[in-house]
A and B are shown apart, each in its own frame.
Chain A
Amino acid sequence: MVIDDRILRKGDVGTTGRPDSDAIIRVRGLKTQFGHAVIHEDLDLDLRSGEILGVVGGSGTGKSVLMRAIIGLKRPSAGSVSVFGQDFYAASENQRIEIERRWGVLFQGGALFSSLTVAQNVMAPIREHLGMPDALARDIAAMKISMSGLPPEAGDKYPSELSGGMRKRAGLARALALDPEIVFLDEPTAGLDPIGAAQFDQLIVDLKTSLGLTVFMITHDLDSLYAACDRVAVLAEKHVIAVGPLSEVAETDHAWTRSYFSGPRGRAARASALG
């Protein structure tokens, strides 16, 4: 593939089977399909420790499916996903639970448990996995809620009483409940107003620096890419066509990346990021 070679020659990236010592998630030769519809074929991707990786691609290119394949919700029909050096789909039940404790996931709509309050939502994984005394679990939940930028009053609200932005923050608080090493974010800024979206980007960068998080972020939001991401992976034609720092990926000679990064929104986002 011409495009891959171009990026690879710049010496940055591993979209091939090259060893990448920093990678804590390594996807190799991934193939996923629904019935006869193949979503990904021969897809390689690395997530390196301590980075924020932005995953972009047009609608229907399987960004969310890729995330679901990595976190074990959609079993790939071929290829491997290794997490912390362990093949996730070959791991035993206990090993998987051990891995799942080390990551947190923010789903697109927040996916909060609708019959629990925000604080109870955040406490759920803490109680389930750590068997903590209630008082301590409450303290930790309050901290996570505050860290996610929600006011303390949000604690006893039910998800149906929250705005979209607050729901995302509450979802993030729950994703962070167990101090995960990796956080998966599925379109965290979609549906937020520009100010809220910018704050959310900043929040993620702050959490990454202070907690040493590794972030896998699916996004459509060009501003998020410029503001938050260390590397960007572009999904098209069933695999990752380019991955690397934003400046390099934006230069890739592919119809989709060109129109994405050089379209009016792309130029505006770049201008505001540089200016």
Chain B
Amino acid sequence: MNAATFHVDMVDDVLRLNIEGDWRARFLARIDHDIRDFEEDSVGRELIIDLSKLERMDTAGALVIQRVMSSCASRTDRSTFTGASDAQMALLEHVRPHLAPCPVEPARGNPFIMLLVRLGVGARDVYFAAIDILNFIGVVVRTFIRAVAEPRRFRLTSIVSHMESAGLDAVPIVATMSFLVGAVVAYMGAKSLATFGAEIFTVELVSLAVLREFGVLLAAILLAGRSGSAFTAQIGSMKLREEIDALRVTGLDPIEVLVLPRTIALIVMLPVLAFIGAMMGLLGGIIVSWGALDISPTLFIARMKEAIVLSNFWAGIIKAPFFAFIISVVGCFQGMSVEGSAESLGQRTTLSVVQSLFLVIFIDSFFAMFYLEIDF
């Protein structure tokens, strides 16, 4: 079997294109460039295309041959196909009405203008996204207040189910991570404080860091990655399959059915996770202090009781419901904003995690400043 080839000669002052070999799609890549050159060179000339040595052809081959004919040949009687079998002729006739090109992707303008357009659209989108999310928060709060007035609107089964998947199932990973971070803080503290002979202050360092910041922050970061993204994906794929619309026309409020249970579940569970995280962080600190510094657990706890007041614990835990609210609302909002394609679902899930992490850390720093000002 010969791959696709062609050669050109002149017969009686008429250009003759001899098509040879196997003109199926897989063999056309090699001759595409040459045949286009031929096409360009011979626009508007009389042309005979000889197919007598053509072995096989599919629609792609027929397309190329017809394209050459239509772009080169001046429409005189002498421009014609010769030597084609009936089947080949039928296939050539079949593709002839389908030669018109079609646009492949939406038209793009001048790159510089497009850059400006993107900049403008981006700025406008930030503005509208901010309004949209504030709007969304308002709707969630309103739905919550309405549900307080009519408690059967709280969907207990759904809340408990989300408490399990977002909260309970996250306990092992939160516990492990917090334990490790507590241990690392203790170890680093021990090494640097030892240079001043102040190893005992490791207790303060560990308990302050873990109780005020790391316990709740680690739990929130984990939740944003684990549950915030899951909320976006769940609600987003429901949106793609018109399930959200189905809820609406059934007279069910998607906010009440989907968003409220998730938000309440997170608000209840994040403080619990933060508490577990804080305790495990302390445990990590205690074990390292015991192993590396010979501070016995009894001494650690006694010193902690003395030096660290309970307010440090509360300063950490109070932040948890705020973080939970932000994570859930951002996750659900991004899910509701999914449109059209699988690509959009991916973008929204990414946005959901990035935004909720950003907001969690932003709010955390706000809390830190606030505590400093009120001397908490």
Interface set of A (CB-CB < 8 Å, partner B): 113-115, 117, 119-120, 123, 126, 129-133, 135-136, 138-147, 152-156, 158-160, 178-179, 210-211
Does B101 sit within 8 A of A, measured CB to CB?
Answer: yes
Q: Is the CB of B59 within 8 A of A143?
A: yes
How many cross-chain pairs have Cβ atoms below 8 Å apart between A and B?
105
Does B149 sit within 8 A of A, measured CB to CB?
Answer: no
Report how far A119 CA is from B104 CA in the complex, Å.
5
Q: Is the CB of B26 within 8 A of A119?
A: no
Does B15 sit within 8 A of A, measured CB to CB?
Answer: no
Report how far A195 CA is from B219 CA in the complex, Å.
58
Output the nearest chain B residue to A211 by Cβ-Cβ distance: B59
Does B98 sit within 8 A of A, measured CB to CB?
Answer: yes
Does B8 sit within 8 A of A, measured CB to CB?
Answer: no
Q: Is the CB of B25 within 8 A of A117?
A: no
Interface string of B259-301 (1 = CB under 8 A from A): 0000000000000000000000000000000000000000000
B interface residues, how many (CB within 8 angstroms): 34
Report how far A143 CA is from B62 CA in the complex, Å.
11
Greatest chain A CB density within 10 A among B36, B95, B97, B341 is at B341
Q: Is the CB of A115 within 8 A of B341?
A: yes
> What DSSP secondary structure best describes chain A's contact surface?
helix
Please pick, from A136, A144, A153, A160, the residue contacting B28 in the complex, using a CB distance under 8 A. A136
Q: Is the CB of A136 within 8 A of B64?
A: yes
In the bound complex, residues from chain B placing their C-beta under 8 Å from that of A156 are: 102-107
Q: Lowest 6 A-B CB distances belong to which pairs?
A: A155-B102, A114-B341, A152-B102, A115-B343, A160-B340, A146-B98
Q: Is the CB of A179 within 8 A of B59?
A: yes
Task: List B residues 14-48 near A (Cβ within 8 Å).
Answer: 24-26, 28-29, 32-33, 36
Does B208 sit within 8 A of A, measured CB to CB?
Answer: no
Q: Is the CB of B32 within 8 A of A210?
A: no
With A130-B25, A140-B63: A211-B102 Cβ-Cβ less than 8 Å = no
Q: Is the CB of A114 within 8 A of B342?
A: yes
Task: Provide a sorted-by-A list of 21 A–B residue pairs whose CB atoms are within 8 angstroms.
Answer: A115-B343, A117-B104, A117-B106, A119-B102, A129-B26, A130-B25, A130-B28, A135-B32, A136-B29, A136-B60, A139-B64, A139-B67, A139-B101, A152-B100, A153-B103, A155-B102, A156-B103, A156-B107, A178-B25, A210-B91, A210-B94
Shortest C-beta distance, B44 to chain A (Å), equals 20
Interface string of B83-112 (1 = CB under 8 A from A): 000000011001101111111111100000
Q: Is the CB of B29 within 8 A of A131?
A: yes
Greatest chain B CB density within 10 A among A126, A129, A143 is at A143
Q: Is the CB of B340 within 8 A of A158?
A: yes
Report how far A147 CA is from B341 CA in the complex, Å.
26
Q: Is the CB of B102 within 8 A of A142?
A: yes
Shortest C-beta distance, A180 to chain B (Å), equals 10
In the bound complex, residues from chain B placing their C-beta under 8 Å from that of A140 are: 25, 59-60, 63
> What DSSP secondary structure best describes chain B's contact surface?
helix
In the bound complex, residues from chain A placing their C-beta under 8 Å from that of B24 are: 179
Interface string of B50-68 (1 = CB under 8 A from A): 0000000011100110010
Please pick, from A123, A131, A178, the residue contacting B104 in the complex, using a CB distance under 8 A. A123
In the bound complex, residues from chain A placing their C-beta under 8 Å from that of B341 are: 114-115, 158-160
Interface string of B331-361 (1 = CB under 8 A from A): 0000000011111000000000000000000
Shortest C-beta distance, B256 to chain A (Å), equals 27
Shortest C-beta distance, A146 to chain B (Å), equals 4
Shortest C-beta distance, A43 to chain B (Å), equals 31
Report how far A140 CA is from B58 CA in the complex, Å.
11
Report how far A153 CA is from B101 CA in the complex, Å.
10
Q: Is the CB of A138 within 8 A of B104?
A: yes
Output the nearest chain B residue to A210 by Cβ-Cβ distance: B94
In the bound complex, residues from chain B placing their C-beta under 8 Å from that of A141 are: 102, 104
In the bound complex, residues from chain A placing their C-beta under 8 Å from that of B342 are: 113-115
Output the nearest chain B residue to A154 by Cβ-Cβ distance: B102
In the bound complex, residues from chain A placing their C-beta under 8 Å from that of B36 are: 135
Interface string of B202-215 (1 = CB under 8 A from A): 00000000000000
Please pick, from A129, A142, A159, A160, the residue contacting B101 in the complex, using a CB distance under 8 A. A142
With A145-B102, A146-B102, A211-B94: A179-B32 Cβ-Cβ less than 8 Å = no
In the bound complex, residues from chain B placing their C-beta under 8 Å from that of A143 are: 59-60, 63, 95, 98-99
Output the nearest chain A residue to B58 by Cβ-Cβ distance: A179
Report how far A139 CA is from B67 CA in the complex, Å.
9
Please pick, from A129, A133, A158, A160, the residue contacting B32 in the complex, using a CB distance under 8 A. A133
Further pairs besides A142-B101, A143-B99: 4, Cβ < 8 Å: A119-B104, A120-B105, A130-B29, A143-B59
Output the nearest chain B residue to A146 by Cβ-Cβ distance: B98
In the bound complex, residues from chain B placing their C-beta under 8 Å from that of A123 are: 104
With A123-B104, A139-B63: A132-B28 Cβ-Cβ less than 8 Å = yes
Q: Is the CB of A119 within 8 A of B103?
A: yes
Task: List B residues 315-338 near A (Cβ within 8 Å).
Answer: none
In the bound complex, residues from chain A placing their C-beta under 8 Å from that of B340 are: 114, 158, 160
Shortest C-beta distance, A139 to chain B (Å), equals 6
Shortest C-beta distance, A84 to chain B (Å), equals 16
Output the nearest chain A residue to B67 by Cβ-Cβ distance: A139
Please pick, from B25, B100, B339, the residue contacting A146 in the complex, using a CB distance under 8 A. B100
Greatest chain B CB density within 10 A among A129, A131, A142 is at A142
Q: Is the CB of B94 within 8 A of A119?
A: no
Report how far A158 CA is from B101 CA in the complex, Å.
17
Report how far A218 CA is from B24 CA in the complex, Å.
29
Report how far A143 CA is from B341 CA in the complex, Å.
25
Report how far A129 CA is from B24 CA in the complex, Å.
13
Shortest C-beta distance, B253 to chain A (Å), equals 25
In the bound complex, residues from chain A placing their C-beta under 8 Å from that of B59 are: 140, 143-144, 147, 179, 211
